[in-house]
Structure 1
């Protein structure tokens, strides 16, 4: 019992109350955020769209997300974290209600893009708020718990959504809106504004000692080492998003309904919920790029198996493989992203890094819809091959990236923090 208590303290102890309210808001939001998971099925089953058109509409959601990440970062620094979170959640709820009763496909595409914007806006605000309130030595466990809550919510959402979709797609959007409003209520009631806690730090300028010469987004966009990592993360995101964009269409073609799809996604979420908190101890003794190579190879294998899948049991087995890959990838991915950013430009680097996910949300369904429609099961062989190439990329990029991080740390040690 004492061992269990020590493990729990090391995993979740010492975190402030505000973090837990943020955590609760995220959990409630994700548990009800299932409408967009089933958007492709809704478009093909209810609105009569082709697979290619459905992929394009879902891609519009991803395109909106790219804008939402940048907008959320700017607003979180100008309006504040709490105000940005509330604006995003309330806007999402209104758009979900509108989508529930919208019929023209063109209008659904526009609304999907807007939902993409407001769905992505909270990401930088959540991260910024957590950094604001959690001491540096406890942030690793905070972000691990954030990832855990996200997937716990996704597991609940998938099970609920599968049942609701069998009864009514309209209910999907309305329940999603209700959950989003509940999350907004928790944030509005219990989460104070945290921006003032870091207001003392000056933004970097060319005259700031040790600051990169071209301070701003341009610095991140011209950092080759960072961009290689971002590119490999983009491939990881494309692979992971197959579960919510293309796999439901493949399962439908195999005669499997929404409840079967919900079970597959819920299995992945359950595995993460049960095992994610044990992953850090498992991988700590290994170099980060080796862990990322192994995790990406597992994702490639899991999705590649779908080329021969035609029964639910095969989909469930493949889900176990790619979920283990995702679990292994999460901690080193977050740590490398933090290591590569110069201290004065961490927020800007985060913005560029987070663009990989909405960009993948656009590319994965847009190209994947055409690929599945015209190549059939060959689509999964392409996905698997792409993942294996990314695994090799991690092995090649790892050593020079480690040298680059070491150089950044030496430079940071020579430059004192600029505090007002």
Structure 2
């Protein structure tokens, strides 16, 4: 019993109530965000769109996501975290409800792009709010729980989406909208504004306030973002290139589903044990190890020709993803000046829509012309990124120390709304 209490304290202890309300809102949001999983099927089956047109509409959602992360970061630093989260959730609920009754393909494409914007807006605000309220020595645990909630919610969403899609596509969109409203209700009722301002007399003397450009010209931060982009490209192999490789090996959709389900199950079961494994180790070394595991897992697919090999490789790269999540978010938070937290988050989150474009486009060509050699290249790029984390680690640590030393004391300021 004492061991269980110690494990719980190490995993989730010492986190403020506001974090848990944010965590609950995120879990509800992810568990209900399933309509877009079936958007291409909805377009082809219910609206008669061709596969090419369906792909274009889904691509519009992705393009909206790239805009949304930047917009969400700017608004979260200007309006506040709570206001941005509420605006994004309420907008998403309204758009999903409108999609449920829309029939014209052009209108659906426009709505899909707008949904992409409002679905991506909360990410910088969520993380910035977590950094605002969670003490520094507890943030790794908080980010670990955030990653766990995200994956648990997506697993639930995948299960619910299949059932609802069988019954009614309209129900798919309406239940999604209802879940988004439920998340907004939790935030409205329980999450205060967490954005802080410098005390009077502590404002920056420069007339020009720092903005998004600061993040886009921060070399130390951009090196970290570039390494995260590589990690995202590696991770995207699972949903973009691996299904094609499995088909070439004579394995059907059910085999692919087993591999994906194994990864999701490992995260849901094992992610809560990660903090005790990594807390005593330097973040650059943890990220080097995790990226190396991703490289090894995907590189091993060069030898895969049967389901058991794919399953073993999936275990390796999933463990890498699990180890990477907390330190990746921690470093991102540490490198951001307090007044630009959400903007830095928005630049960081751009890596994911960028990876979702690069992974299938470049990877498809690579697989077509190089065959299994594609996986050797993926593994080599991953190993280079692992080395990059080790090389960049000392300068990141110096930068974090300088930011902590320069940070002025801050007091909360409630913003309107």
- Superposition TM-score tier, normalisation by shorter sequence: 0.7 to 0.9
Corresponding position: 1:123 with 2:123 = yes
Cα distance in 2 for residues equivalent to 1:250 and 1:93:
37
Corresponding position: 1:256 with 2:252 = yes
Q: Deviations over 1:24-65 (max 9, x none)?
A: 121121122233345566667874415xx7665544333221
Q: Deviations over 1:98-129 (max 9, x none)?
A: 54566676655443322221111111222233
* Residues 56, 98 of structure 1: alpha-carbon distance in 2 compared, 3 angstrom cutoff: same
5+ unaligned residues in a row in structure 1: which ranges? none
Cα distance in 2 for residues equivalent to 1:325 and 1:352:
23
Corresponding position: 1:49 with 2:51 = yes
Alignment-derived partner of residue 232 in structure 2 = 237
Alignment-derived partner of residue 92 in structure 2 = 92
Alignment-derived partner of residue 264 in structure 2 = 269
Contact 1:154–1:266 under 8 Å retained in 2:
no
Q: Deviations over 1:67-115 (max 9, x none)?
A: 1112222333444433322322232233334545666766554433222
Contact 1:148–1:273 under 8 Å retained in 2:
yes
Q: Deviations over 1:375-415 (max 9, x none)?
A: 66665454334323322322332334334444x25xx4366
- Using the TM superposition, name which of 91-100 and 265-274 deviates more: 91-100
Secondary structure in 1 matching 2:210: coil
Contact 1:37–1:245 under 8 Å retained in 2:
no
Cα distance in 2 for residues equivalent to 1:42 and 1:85:
28
Cα distance in 2 for residues equivalent to 1:256 and 1:161:
21
Alignment-derived partner of residue 191 in structure 1 = 190
Question: How far off its partner does 1:157 sit?
Answer: 2.2
Alignment-derived partner of residue 360 in structure 1 = 355
Cα distance in 1 for residues equivalent to 2:303 and 2:99:
35
Alignment-derived partner of residue 72 in structure 1 = 72
The correspondence of residues 392-403 of structure 1 with structure 2, limited to 5 A, is 392-403=387-398
* Residues 339, 134 of structure 1: alpha-carbon distance in 2 compared, 3 angstrom cutoff: closer
Question: How far off its partner does 1:7 sit?
Answer: 2.1
Number of residue-to-residue matches in the alignment: 409
For residue 335 of structure 2, the aligned residue among 340, 344, 358 is 340
Contact 1:162–1:260 under 8 Å retained in 2:
no
Contact 2:84–2:122 under 8 Å retained in 1:
yes
* Residues 60, 270 of structure 1: alpha-carbon distance in 2 compared, 3 angstrom cutoff: same
Contact 1:236–1:387 under 8 Å retained in 2:
yes
Question: How far off its partner does 1:164 sit?
Answer: 5.1
Alignment-derived partner of residue 111 in structure 1 = 111
Question: How far off its partner does 1:353 sit?
Answer: 1.8
* Residues 157, 287 of structure 1: alpha-carbon distance in 2 compared, 3 angstrom cutoff: same
Question: How far off its partner does 1:201 sit?
Answer: 5.1
> TM-score if structure 2 supplies the norm length?
0.81
* Residues 17, 388 of structure 1: alpha-carbon distance in 2 compared, 3 angstrom cutoff: same
Q: Deviations over 1:187-220 (max 9, x none)?
A: 33x324324x624557986626xx9x98333332
* Residues 203, 55 of structure 1: alpha-carbon distance in 2 compared, 3 angstrom cutoff: farther
Aligned-residue RMSD, C-alpha: 3.7
> TM-score if structure 1 supplies the norm length?
0.81
* Residues 308, 154 of structure 1: alpha-carbon distance in 2 compared, 3 angstrom cutoff: farther
Question: How far off its partner does 1:229 sit?
Answer: 0.8
Contact 1:64–1:116 under 8 Å retained in 2:
yes
Alignment-derived partner of residue 228 in structure 1 = 223
